[in-house]
Structure 1
Amino acid sequence: MSLRQFEYALAVAEEGSVTAAAELLRVAQPSVSQQIRGLERELGVELFDRTPSGLVPTAVGRAFLREAEVAVSAARRARATARAGADEVAGELVVAVQLGFGTRQLPGALGALRRRFPRLEVTVFEEPSSAELDRLCRRGLLDLALMAACDESPEDAHHLGDEEFVVVLGEGHRRLAADRVELRALAGEPWVRFDRGSALDGVLLNVLRENVLQENEPAPATAARASQTATAVRWAAHGLGVTLVPASAVPHDHEHLARPVSPAVSQPVIAVLRQGAGPAETALLELLRQESWNGRP
């Protein structure tokens, strides 16, 4: 088995066909087919079911692909580390961010990182679940994760600061006249919430239960659920309902509709680095420390 075969199998799983995988990898289609058939022969199993809609990983294939992803990520890091030894940091840096956190701080830090290491390729994605972020970190699939602290946060996590939460109101909302909004004054308001099981929805629900909902009221009036903070802010701005988001997640053109709340709501923000972090991850952590975070100068 070779890393090339692993990469080909991962591409086929991602694209769902040999043709699309070949285009993604910029190689000839027969080469991909040959490598996949050779891999299956060597393993003695079928990694993919051939269906009318495309190639779908089998149960054994899914288990294999999880380990293949770990191996390919480790190989990329090894190449990057070797190049770093020659004062040439290159390769891929994989960063995951818990939805809504570090929205303003991360772009500036990543821009400075790319200027320092122009050959570095950075992949960033948002993940709503802190539990999934923790799992990905433990699997070695992330170089750096940016998230809110929780009971399961690793002991070696780096505290960057705190994200203050603000309420976003619709244009003309009567509470916009106040500099700070009392949470109990929002009783009866419909809310724009987030995907079930996401960390942001968990924060919002806990805040409402402690400060807004009546004793026997099971859940807030939910006007809509959004998968992105920017979407929730836009919907709130148009009067669909009110929402609660980290202050840094409010786009500049909607800041006039955001107000701090009383009692104040905030979450510590941490960065978690993979074991054996290289120079790129370490540099990004230091750049994030230099950004402005609530609760820190």
Structure 2
Amino acid sequence: MTLRQFEYLVTVVDEGSFTRAAELLHVTQPALSHQIRALERAVGTPLLDRLPRAVRLTPAGRAWLPFARAALADADRALTAARRAGGLECGELHVATVYSLTLGALPPVLSAWRARHPDVRIRLFEHRHADELREAMAEGQADVAIGPSPAGWPGFVRRLGVEEFVLVLPPDSPHEGPVDLRAFADQGWVHYAPDNGLADVVDEACRQRGFQPWAAVRTEQTATVPVLAAAGLGPALVPRNVLPERFDGVVLRPDPPVRRELVAYCHKDPDPLTSAFIGLLVGAGWDA
């Protein structure tokens, strides 16, 4: 088995077509098919079902795919690390995170990093849910992930601080903080779409106060939630770091507070460039 064969089959899966994969890889379709058949012989079982108008992974292929993606990502990181060490290029740092941090806490860190390391490119991968982030890291997507603490993570983990959540209300709200979420148990909430990980945070915070929030409005976009809440469509629980410096709505701290721990994590001990980035994260004042 070769990494090239891994790349060929992953590309066929991603494109859903031998023809499109061959075009993307700049090889002939017979050569592509030959390499994939060779891979299947080495594995000892078919990895693809070849349908008249599509291709589909077999059960063996579905089991194989995450490991193939991880192997390709590891190979890419190995090449980048070797080039960094050899002075052949300044490098590219792959960073995975969740949307709420991309909107608020992460931009100042990326700005500071850019000022210190102007020749290091950043490739950012954003995820809606902490579980999705963890799964992507397990497949080797990035050098480092920044997000909620991943349960049972077997590799390197460094605590950064906490993400604080605040309650957003319209400007004419009579409420003053800190405020108990139970005061809004009978109201329709501005809520996150179910595939947004912040929906779980809101549901759990309300569950701990003895009620299930009723969603008057659900939205896919994290940044839209405080805007709708300030417009009077219902209360919303949002990460403080996503709010702009000038914001028209009333912002109150819940009592008890709603927080989640944030960490940086990797597969193994980070290389020097990744360590430098994590060091900048640690010094960014996440608990402030």
Deviation digits for residues 195-237 of structure 1, max 9, x if unmatched?
Answer: 4476422321232233463xxxxx2212233343123334434
Structure 2: how far apart are the matches of 1:21 and 1:241? 48
Change (3 A) 1:274 1:109: farther
1:256 correspondence with 2:248? yes
User: C-alpha displacement at 1:250, in angstroms?
Assistant: 2.7
How many residues align? The count is 285
Change (3 A) 1:84 1:208: same
Structure 1: how far apart are the matches of 2:218 and 2:152? 26
Change (3 A) 1:153 1:59: closer
Find the partner of 2:186 among 188, 201, 224.
Answer: 188
Gaps of 5+ in 2: none
Structure 2: how far apart are the matches of 1:111 and 1:143? 18
1:291 correspondence with 2:281? no
User: C-alpha displacement at 1:280, in angstroms?
Assistant: 2.8
User: C-alpha displacement at 1:159, in angstroms?
Assistant: 2.0
Matches for 1:196-211 after TM superposition, within 5 Å: 196=194, 199-211=197-209
**What residue is the counterpart of 1:216 in the other structure?**
none
Determine if contact 1:6/1:68 at 8 Å carries over to the other structure.
yes
Find the partner of 1:277 among 249, 270, 274.
Answer: 270
User: C-alpha displacement at 1:78, in angstroms?
Assistant: 1.1
Structure 1: how far apart are the matches of 2:46 and 2:81? 34
Matches for 1:1-297 after TM superposition, within 5 Å: 1-25=1-25, 27-30=26-29, 31-88=31-88, 93-101=93-101, 103-113=103-113, 116=117, 118=119, 120=121, 122-130=123-131, 132-138=132-138, 140-149=140-149, 152=152, 157-170=157-170, 172-175=171-174, 178=176, 181-196=179-194, 199-211=197-209, 213=211, 219-251=212-244, 255-263=247-255, 264-293=257-286, 295-296=287-288
Determine if contact 1:76/1:92 at 8 Å carries over to the other structure.
no
Change (3 A) 1:169 1:103: same
SS at match of 1:262: coil
Change (3 A) 1:280 1:56: farther
Determine if contact 2:130/2:148 at 8 Å carries over to the other structure.
no
User: C-alpha displacement at 1:126, in angstroms?
Assistant: 1.3
**Aligned Cα root-mean-square deviation (Å):** 3.1
TM-score normalised by structure 1 residue count: 0.80
Structure 2: how far apart are the matches of 1:156 and 1:276? 6
- Equivalent AA in structure 2 for residue 85 of structure 1: A
Deviation digits for residues 89-143 of structure 1, max 9, x if unmatched?
Answer: 556543322342353232333344456263545241214134x444544554442
Structure 1: how far apart are the matches of 2:151 and 2:5? 40
SS at match of 1:157: strand
Determine if contact 2:69/2:139 at 8 Å carries over to the other structure.
no
Change (3 A) 1:29 1:180: farther
SS at match of 2:100: coil
Gaps of 5+ in 1: 214-218
Determine if contact 2:128/2:197 at 8 Å carries over to the other structure.
no
Structure 2: how far apart are the matches of 1:190 and 1:67? 44
Residue identity (%): 34
